Amino acid sequence: MGPGSADDTVGVSQGPLRQAAVLVPLVLHRAPAILLTRRAAHLSAHAGQVAFPGGRLEAGESPEEAALREAEEEVGLPRHWPRLIGRMPRHQTGTGYMVTPVLGLLEPGFPLMPDPSEVAEAFEFPLATLLDPAAPRRESREWKGRMREYWVWPHDTHFIWGATATILVALAQALREG
């Protein structure tokens, strides 16, 4: 199954989808990496999970504006710092969101100051792992009486799965194809 496949998203949420955006920040070190966060453990939704900086769109906001605003709020990344280069395909989550990933480039030396009310830590995921076609794997578990499949990426200290993993799969495929 490919990224954003029906098994990852369909049949979980009911009602209209809420619009959201995430910043997919590619850090341009000698060994490039993707900047990710681990959400604070006390949050009511997705506590402790790995995520991109992002969240709901506010009224009149574009996905780019929302992604930059959320990155500034969550990890202290100034809005002018990422060089935005485009949008990735939207991803419907099982929790009722339609997420627009916004790809941005970050030159080394960018300031970060994670907000502990939202983010436990920010960390980097190596692009070399992202580009390894054997790296992501499919796992499954029962949820709400139904077997669900989802992507998982290997990492020494973090469990990267769900919408974040699916967006990473889509990014990896796009980068490998060209």
**What's residue 39's pLDDT?**
78
For the chain (length 178 residues), average pLDDT per consecutive 10? Answer: 41 75 98 92 67 96 98 96 97 92 96 90 95 92 82 90 94 90
Q: Are 34 and 24 in contact, with CB atoms under 8 Å apart?
A: yes
Please state the φ and ψ torsions of residue 9, each to the nearest 5 degrees: -130, -30
> What is the pLDDT at residue 45?
66
Residue type for 122, please?
A
pLDDT at res. 14: 63
| 150 contact partners, CB below 8 Å, separation of at least 6 | 7, 8, 138, 139, 140, 161, 162, 165, 166
CB 53 within 8 A of CB 75: yes
In the prediction, which pLDDT does 69 show? 98
The pLDDT score that the predictor gives to residue 46 is 62
8 A C-beta contact, residue 61 and residue 78: no
Predicted confidence at residue 9, as pLDDT, reads 45
Distance (Å, rounded) from C-alpha 66 to C-alpha 129? 28
Element (DSSP H or E) covering residue 141: strand 137-143
The CATH architecture one would assign to domain 6-126 is Alpha-Beta Complex (3.90)
- Angstrom distance (rounded) from CA 142 to CA 110: 41
